[in-house]
Amino acid sequence: MRLRPARLRDWPTMLVLLALPGRVSSAGEKLRIAYVTNAWWPKVDGAAISVMAHSQYFASQGYSTLVVRPSYDENSPLVLSASGTKDPCPATENLSFVSFATFGHRGGGFEPEMDPTSFPAVERALAAWSPDVVLIADPDLFLFDAFRLPGFNSISRSATFSPVTIACFTSFAVDAALAMPEFWWMHNPPLRKVFIQGHAIAYASFDHIFLNGRHSYEYIQPLFALHWPWEWKPFVQRSRIVASRGVPADFCSRPAADHCDAQRPVQAMRAAAERRRAAGGDEMDDYVLLYVGRLSYDKSVDNLLRAFAQAYELQKAAGGRLPRLAIAGQGELDWLLHEYVKRLGDAVVQLGQVQHNDVSCVLREADAYISAAQNETYGRSLVEAKRCGLPIVTVSSCNLHVMHGHDGLLAELAEVGGYVPGLAQQIVSIVQQPQLHARLAAEAGKPPSGEDAATAANRRMLIEVLEARARTLNLTGVHGRPQGPRVPRPRPWHPFWTAWLSVSRVFDEPAAAATAAVVGISSVAIGLSSSGRGMSAVLQGKVTAVWLAVGGVLMVGVLIVAAQASLWLADLLQDGPSSWLRGDPSGRLRDDL
């Protein structure tokens, strides 16, 4: 898809830019925090919910907060599915926004690409606003899509714009990409290695890295980045596990009963139960498993459907209690869900999109929650289900919230079939054993102790941001005076990804880039013209065209050589103590060793 020029649609961003005068905080003043995110309403996933909550909390505490967020095409399925709802995080006195455009149909349109032509305006807005701290959620995604780490071009050009930078690790990008058909090329091992190196360079560029849990820590632990001129350094020591996400204790009780009764997904679940009873089924025999989320490959919805179908057939063959699967959400695997509905009838109920405020309405109708997602850095949907007293059936990979046999059941990875056979067996176990279900549900439904988890998570995030800045600037306190020099800013480089990032400079300074190109081409043409005296005009034109074509081929060759050099560097250190592809306790990068 051809990218549209940014100039015609940048006027809202430029108005925001003019309305946000920059300043630098001094001792005792509230800091200015910029938060850059790749997910925002109407894409309401765990990461977007957390960023919205953090931003609102920062602003409520008096900290000026600028959120750089995506905007979506009016025909995007994200926008269409949210018709009639409002952005839950509007602008306030301390909360402002700058947007960048997205385009394309990646992930069925639910994971659109970021438009790199939108980011020069974002870069100017960040530089003019002059934040004290820049947080970027999933910076590797910005590197891959937009050829940049937002704000970093301005940081490298300016001596006065020097915020503390924090990367928020919210997704296992390599694993998610491997699951998506659009990234078929990543199944080529050399290309996958280059992709992993870009992932490493993105995070190694930050002063601090915030992680959701131990799985995220294990994920980045084996990664190293090259620093000038030739020093390999780990960056895991700059990472910190931060309890920055939480679900309110009253999440399940917030919507009123009459409100939930009027929701179509709730009515669809009840109608399916009525049809089963009308067909001769017993109400006590109806066991409903629920999944809420995006219907995508990276959420392993295809494996979830396979596992449920296996469990259903096993129970049917044994003459046992038959489970029912209700799925709420939309995504690229809508077609696959339709196929299972046709195959299994009322055993699979398609609920469609459910607004986040109404998720607890459908959770109240279920007996257990199920997920086959293997790459969750947090897993908010599991916590929401536990708030409603549902036991969890899921996989052991990346699990942060479920104790097997205590408040849920975990499927282990099998040599054949992955997690599918184990997940099917756990479904059979919880459906067959009412006493097991009752015991797991009792533990899952225990209310959390202490302060509300959501409030505590937002407070913890702000505290960690302030303390990270104080450590970097050697301050006497979070708003104190410097008592020493700033901790040097990380400056990793890479033979391929550094060239890749330089493409963003062309978007930022198109006039300068065009001038340089014209000067270069003119110089070549003049040189060829001078050396071609005596040639006919036609022959001179042909010679010039040939040399320009050779120059283009050489430029492509340089990028190919840079990519190959990056692989050579990895192979060179494959057996050394600084190998960035070794020591992977989680096993998620094992195919690349």
Q: Which residue carries 């269409």 as its tokens?
A: 80
- pLDDT at residue 65, as a whole number: 97
Mean pLDDT of 236-254: 94
- pLDDT at residue 565, as a whole number: 54
In 3D space, the residue among 12, 21, 20, 92 whose CA is nearest the CA of residue 59 turns out to be 92
**Are 1 and 104 a contacting pair, CB within 8 Å?**
yes
Backbone angles phi, psi at 133, to 5 degrees: -135, 135
Q: Which residue carries 């970097």 as its tokens?
A: 472
User: What's the pLDDT tens digit per position in 331-365?
Assistant: 999 999 999 999 999 999 999 999 999 999 999 99
Q: The domain 29-172+208-218+236-247+454-492 is classified under which CATH number: 3.30.360, 3.20.20, 2.60.40, 3.40.50?
A: 3.40.50
3-state secondary structure of 235: coil
Residue type, 249: A
Beta strand 368-370 with 348-352 is: unpaired
Q: What is the mean pLDDT of the chain?
A: 84
- Out of 208-212, 446-450, 567-571, 580-584, which region has the weakest mean confidence (pLDDT)? 580-584
Token output for 192: 């996958």
DSSP secondary structure letter of residue 62: T
User: What's the pLDDT tens digit per position in 126-183?
Assistant: 999 999 999 999 999 999 999 999 999 999 888 778 899 999 999 998 888 888 888 8
User: What's the pLDDT tens digit per position in 474-512?
Assistant: 998 877 888 889 999 999 999 899 999 999 998 998 877
C-alpha–C-alpha distance, residues 127 and 125, integer Å: 6
User: What's the pLDDT tens digit per position in 180-209?
Assistant: 888 888 888 888 888 999 999 999 999 999
Greater confidence (365 vs 2) lies with 365
- pLDDT at residue 30, as a whole number: 79
- Give pTM, 2 decimals: 0.85
Q: CATH homologous superfamily of domain 251-444?
A: Glycogen Phosphorylase B; (3.40.50.2000)
Q: Do domains 29-172+208-218+236-247+454-492 and 251-444 have the same CATH topology?
A: yes
Would you call 476 exposed, middle or buried from its count of C-beta atoms within 10 A (0-12, 13-18, 19+)? Answer: exposed
Please determine, for residue 531, whether its predicted confidence score (pLDDT) is greater than 70: no
- Domain residue spans of the chain: 29-172+208-218+236-247+454-492, 251-444
- pLDDT at residue 430, as a whole number: 97
**Are 543 and 528 a contacting pair, CB within 8 Å?**
yes
C-alpha–C-alpha distance, residues 34 and 164, integer Å: 10
- pLDDT at residue 524, as a whole number: 58
Greater confidence (26 vs 43) lies with 43
Token output for 438: 């009752």
Beta strand 113-114 with 95-103 is: antiparallel
- pLDDT at residue 5, as a whole number: 35
- pLDDT at residue 375, as a whole number: 87
Share of the chain above pLDDT 70, in %: 80
3-state secondary structure 148-205: CCCCHHHHHHCCCCCCEEEEECCCCHHHHHHHCHHHHHHHCHHHHHHHHHHHHHHHHC
